[in-house]
Amino acid sequence: MKHKEYIIGAAAAIIAFLSLLGFDILPLIFLIGLAGAIYFITDSKLLKVKSSSVGEGRKDSSISFNDIGGQEIAKNELREALEFIKSNDKLKALGIRPLKGILLNGPPGTGKTLLAKAAAQYTNSVFLSASGSEFVEMYVGVGAKRVRQLFTQAKQAAKRMNKHSAVIFIDEIEVLGGKRGQNHSHQEHDQTLNELLVQMDGMTSDDEVKVLVIGATNRSDMLDSALLRPGRFDRIVKVDLPDKKGRAHILKLHTRNKPLSAEVEIEAIARDTFGFSGAQLESVANEAAILAMRDESKEISPVHFKNAIEKVMMGEKLDRLPSADEKLRIAIHESGHALIGELLFPHSVASVNVASRSNALGYVRNTQEDDMFLYTCDYLNGRIAVSLAGALAEEVLLSSRSTGASSDFQNASDLARHIVYGGMSELGIISAEDLPKEKLHNAISSILGEVEKSTLSLLNENMQILKDVSSELLDKETLSGDELRGLIKKEAA
């Protein structure tokens, strides 16, 4: 405070002296006022960041690794990296330098923030969190000052709470740590990143308070190489979407305080939620409880979970009502998807619906017994057939197609492109970068043409089943996978 008073006093004396000499002091007063306003604005923003960055609440510190499901590999890597805080003396004896930073890289909603909080609890550290966007401002020097303030704050908070370590969590670190030289308008972004590098370089094993920086991003390709070199972010931990076993673990965690009916099978729900993140699974459990409350049910049933999955995937049901002709076309379209899907991939259809949700007038929800990470050419061709089946079913029963298949065609084209790039097309092994667009187009068109012929033939062979499924779907609006399989077996018998 004293240096501010000295500056203000000196400025007032200079203005008074110039006024006595007869100078026009109005422009000078204007400039000083402008500089003061900028200073106090930036200073107040720094204080705002300071108050919002500290995460010293006891609720955060109560989160442990046992409360996080579906990320066993990430948790094991984190535990190993955190040993330098817990066993510092042992590491010193072996001459091991401490890890200064850990980068959590993965899609949104996979639990990166929870892992950082659990890391703080595991090491009995103070936890501070900030977002990368909080450090980037138009004013030169503000971001760098915020970085210095954050590290100082971490050490002060640890001393105040009688702890020897602190964890600084920076979410969306690609905003702060993006590649330098890309912002030509000013150097504020680069100065902020440079300050973070300087602060991390200044961390040693002899510090009274040991600081660990944990960054989170889903765009690691955007980060500056200086940030990822050894001695800064030493470990890059992949936090990926959970597999079926992980999804079951997450669902058990989020339903342990909810009354489930005896018919609910967590393993079945985990199988139906392939590709869901931890955040989406939490939303499924929460939406199921909300649906049970709407029905005034004391327990959450499988139907509630089924509707919750569809709501999380597709959104809430809409009041939009198509005309009778449109509804018939939608039913035929979705029946085509469902029939070909079930014929090519038995027991893969979970439900067929003609109720509007979000941008979809109808949809088929698929599931699979086991997670897949490698795809054969036959499998991809089968998925292309399922995508094309809706429009082809319209053509078989209504002698025309509609614009409702545009997204299906895009999906089919993407799958065909995977076949080409995977070296499974007639072109053989190719270089994706060097492949001429005309050749790529011809190869994709050839694949789609062949699958279209085989799918059309399969629909004609099962035309009566297609009619039965469409008719049943018009009456009920929704068919379960078991009901669909019942109609197929009935016609086959």
Residues noted as catalytic:
334
User: Phi and psi dihedrals of 305, rounded to 5?
Assistant: -65, -40
Q: What span, in angstroms and rounded, lies between the C-alpha atoms of 19 and 221?
A: 58
Q: What span, in angstroms and rounded, lies between the C-alpha atoms of 15 and 23?
A: 9
Q: What span, in angstroms and rounded, lies between the C-alpha atoms of 245 and 73?
A: 13
Contacts of 296 (CB under 8 A, 6+ apart): none
Contacts of 458 (CB under 8 A, 6+ apart): 340, 343, 385
CA 470, 471, 477, 482 dihedral sign is: negative
- Enumerate the β-bridge partners of residue 349: 366
3-state secondary structure 258-286: CCECCCCCHHHHHHHCCCCCHHHHHHHHH
What DSSP letter does each residue of 437-463 carry, written as one string?
A: HHHHHHHHHHHHHHHHHHHHHHHHHTH
H or E segment at 174? Answer: helix 173-176
**DSSP designation for 436:** -
Contact status, residue 447 vs residue 412, Cβ threshold 8 Å: no
Sheet holding 478-480, edge to edge: 363-366, 349-353, 478-480
